[in-house]
C-alpha cells in the first residue's frame, strides 16, 4: 500500500504512535506536522476522512493545539474532492476527557473573553461534509461537546458521556447546555449538567444522544462503513441534506420547512438528482458525479 507521506520526517512521530493506522489507510498530510492527532483517509475507496485524537497520556484532553490541528485537518478534508464523509475518534479508553484543565487552570476572565477562548472549536460544527463521531471510553465536558458538534454519534459499549464542568466550578462552554438539551431533553440534560453525573452508552442510545452502540473493537470500522455509505451518495446533495437537518435546530417549523422545500427544489438543478431517479427507473445503481 502506498502512503502519502509528503514530509516523512515530520510524520514519523504520529506514524510510530499508532502503527495500526498505517495498514488501515493512507496517511494524509497537507501542510505540515500533526502533533496531537493522526489523520488519514479510510474506506475501500479512500473517501472517508479519518481523524484520531492522539494524546493518550492526557486521555485526549483537548488542548488548544489539538483543537487547532483538528480544524486544519477538517479544512483539508473539506476541500478534498474525494472525501465524502469524515470520522472523528479517540482511543478505546477515551474519546476525550474534556478541555485541558491544566491549560485552563490559571486563565483569567480577561484572557478568556478578550481572546474569545475556544471560539475556534466551532470549526467542527461548520464543516459542510457529514461528520461522524466514534466514541469509545470517556466523552466528558468538551469531549462530549466535540462529539455533539458532529452529525452522527456512534458509541462503543463502554462509552461514558458527561458534562462534569460543575464539579470544576464552571459550566459547559462549547455547546453542552444547548446541544445536550436538544438531544436528550431538559430533565436529563439538567441532571447531567447540574450533578456532573455521567450516562453510559445504552442510556445515551435510549435518550437519543447516539444512534448506534457497537462492541468496542467494532466501533471504528462501523463508523467508517457509515462514512463510506454516505460518501457513495452525491456530495452536493448530502451537503444540502445536512444543511436542511441542521436548520431544524435554528429555525421555526415554518421557516425550516420552507428552507427544506427550496433545497429540495435545488436538487433538481443537479445532474445527480437526474441520475438518481433515472437509475431507479432503469433498475440500476446510481453513479453520482457530485454535480
Ligand atoms: C487535563 C486530564 C484531563 C483533562 C484527564 N487528564 N482528564 N488532563 N485535562 N480534562 C489527565 C490526568 O491529569 C492524568 O494525567 C491522565 O489524564 C489520566 O487521568 P486519571 O485521572 O489518572 O485517569 P482515571 O483515574 O482513569 O480517571 C479518568 C477521568 C478523570 C474520570 C476521565 O481523568 C477525569 O475526571 N478527568 C477530568 C474530566 C473533566 O472534568 N472534564 C471536563 C473538563 S472541563 P497525570 O499526568 O496528571 O497523571 C471542560 C470544559 C469545556 O471540558 C468547556 C468548553 C470546551
Query: Is the CATH number of domain 235-281 1.10.12.10?
Result: yes
Query: Measured between alpha carbons, how far is 84 from 210 in angstroms, rounded to an integer?
Result: 21
At 216-271, the pLDDT tens digits run 999 999 999 999 999 999 999 999 999 999 999 999 999 999 999 999 999 999 99
At 39-65, the pLDDT tens digits run 999 999 999 999 999 999 999 999 999
Ligand 1 centroid–CA 58 distance in Å is 7
**Whether 53 contacts 89, CB under 8 Å:** yes
Ligand 1 centroid–CA 26 distance in Å is 31
Ligand 1 centroid–CA 105 distance in Å is 12
* pLDDT average, residue stretch 4-21: 35
pLDDT category, 67, cuts 50, 70, 90?
Answer: very high
**Whether 244 contacts 260, CB under 8 Å:** yes
Query: Measured between alpha carbons, how far is 13 from 227 in angstroms, rounded to an integer?
Result: 27
* Residue 175 in contact with ligand 1 by CB distance below 6 A: no
* Residue 99 in contact with ligand 1 by CB distance below 6 A: yes
* pLDDT average, residue stretch 122-143: 98
- Tell me which residues are annotated as active site: 99, 142, 145, 165
Query: Measured between alpha carbons, how far is 171 from 64 in angstroms, rounded to an integer?
Result: 18
pTM given for the model: 0.91
> What does the pLDDT read at residue 77?
98
At 187-229, the pLDDT tens digits run 999 999 999 999 999 999 999 999 999 999 999 999 999 999 9
Q: Which CATH code, of 3.40.50.12780, 3.90.930.60, 3.40.630.10, 3.90.226.10, is assigned to 6-231?
A: 3.90.226.10
Least confident piece of the model among 17-31, 39-53, 122-136, 245-259? 17-31
At 165-194, the pLDDT tens digits run 999 999 999 999 999 999 999 999 999 999
CA neighbours closer than 13 Å in the CB half-sphere of residue 45: 13
The answer on pLDDT for 23 being more than 70 is no
* Residue 196 in contact with ligand 1 by CB distance below 6 A: no
Minimal-distance CA residue to ligand 1 atom 45: 58
* Residue 59 in contact with ligand 1 by CB distance below 6 A: yes
Q: Which of 54, 99, 101 to mutate to test the pocket of ligand 1 (most atoms within 8 A of CB)?
A: 101
The answer on pLDDT for 27 being more than 60 is no
> What does the pLDDT read at residue 33?
86
* Residue 132 in contact with ligand 1 by CB distance below 6 A: no
> What does the pLDDT read at residue 5?
33
Question: Exposed/middle/buried for 103, CB within 10 Å: 0-12, 13-18, 19+?
Answer: middle
At 82-119, the pLDDT tens digits run 999 999 999 999 999 999 999 999 999 999 999 999 99
* Residue 168 in contact with ligand 1 by CB distance below 6 A: yes
Q: At what angle do helices 176-184 and 186-195 cross, to 10 degrees?
A: 140
Domain borders along the chain are 6-231, 235-281
Ligand 1 centroid–CA 36 distance in Å is 16
User: CA nearest 84: which of 268, 255, 213, 231?
Assistant: 231
The answer on pLDDT for 31 being more than 70 is no
Query: Measured between alpha carbons, how far is 214 from 155 in angstroms, rounded to an integer?
Result: 6
Greater confidence (153 vs 1) lies with: 153
**Whether 162 contacts 141, CB under 8 Å:** yes
* Residue 50 in contact with ligand 1 by CB distance below 6 A: no
> What does the pLDDT read at residue 24?
40
Minimal-distance CA residue to ligand 1 atom 40: 164
| Closest ligand 1 atom number to CA of residue 99 | 52
Q: Which of 57, 97, 163 to mutate to test the pocket of ligand 1 (most atoms within 8 A of CB)?
A: 97
Ligand 1 centroid–CA 188 distance in Å is 23
pLDDT category, 28, cuts 50, 70, 90?
Answer: low
Amino acid at each position: 500500500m502506498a502512503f502519502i507521506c509528503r514530509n516523512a520526517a515530520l510524520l514519523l512521530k504520529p506514524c510510530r504512535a499508532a502503527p495500526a493506522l498505517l495498514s488501515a489507510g493512507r496517511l494524509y498530510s497537507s501542510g505540515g506536522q500533526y502533533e496531537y492527532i493522526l489523520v488519514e483517509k479510510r474506506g475501500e475507496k479512500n473517501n472517508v476522512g479519518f481523524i484520531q485524537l492522539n494524546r493518550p497520556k492526557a486521555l485526549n484532553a483537548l488542548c488548544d493545539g489539538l483543537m487547532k490541528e483538528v480544524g486544519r485537518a477538517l479544512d483539508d478534508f473539506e476541500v478534498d474532492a474525494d472525501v465524502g464523509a469524515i470520522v472523528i475518534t479517540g482511543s478505546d479508553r477515551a474519546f476525550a476527557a474534556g478541555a485541558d484543565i491544566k491549560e485552563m487552570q490559571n486563565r483569567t476572565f480577561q484572557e478568556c473573553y478578550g481572546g474569545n477562548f475556544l471560539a475556534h472549536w466551532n470549526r467542527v460544527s461548520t464543516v459542510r461534509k457529514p461528520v461522524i463521531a466514534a466514541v469509545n471510553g470517556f466523552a466528558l465536558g468538551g469531549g462530549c461537546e466535540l462529539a455533539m458538534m458532529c452529525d452522527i454519534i456512534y458509541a462503543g459499549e463502554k462509552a461514558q458521556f458527561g458534562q462534569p464542568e460543575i464539579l470544576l466550578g464552571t459550566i459547559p462552554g462549547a455547546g453542552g447546555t444547548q446541544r445536550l438539551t436538544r438531544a436528550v431533553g431538559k430533565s436529563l440534560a439538567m441532571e447531567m449538567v447540574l450533578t456532573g453525573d455521567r450516562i453510559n452508552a445504552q442510556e445515551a442510545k435510549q435518550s437519543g444522544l447516539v444512534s448506534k452502540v457497537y462492541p468496542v473493537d467494532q466501533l471504528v470500522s462501523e463508523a467508517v462503513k457509515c462514512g463510506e455509505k454516505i460518501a457513495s451518495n452525491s456530495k452536493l446533495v448530502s451537503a444540502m441534506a445536512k444543511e436542511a437537518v441542521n436548520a431544524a435546530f435554528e429555525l421555526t417549523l415554518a421557516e425550516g420547512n420552507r428552507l427544506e422545500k427550496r433545497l429540495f427544489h435545488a436538487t433538481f438543478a443537479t445532474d445527480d438528482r437526474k441520475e438518481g431517479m433515472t437509475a431507479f427507473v432503469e433498475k440500476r445503481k446510481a453513479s453520482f458525479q457530485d454535480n
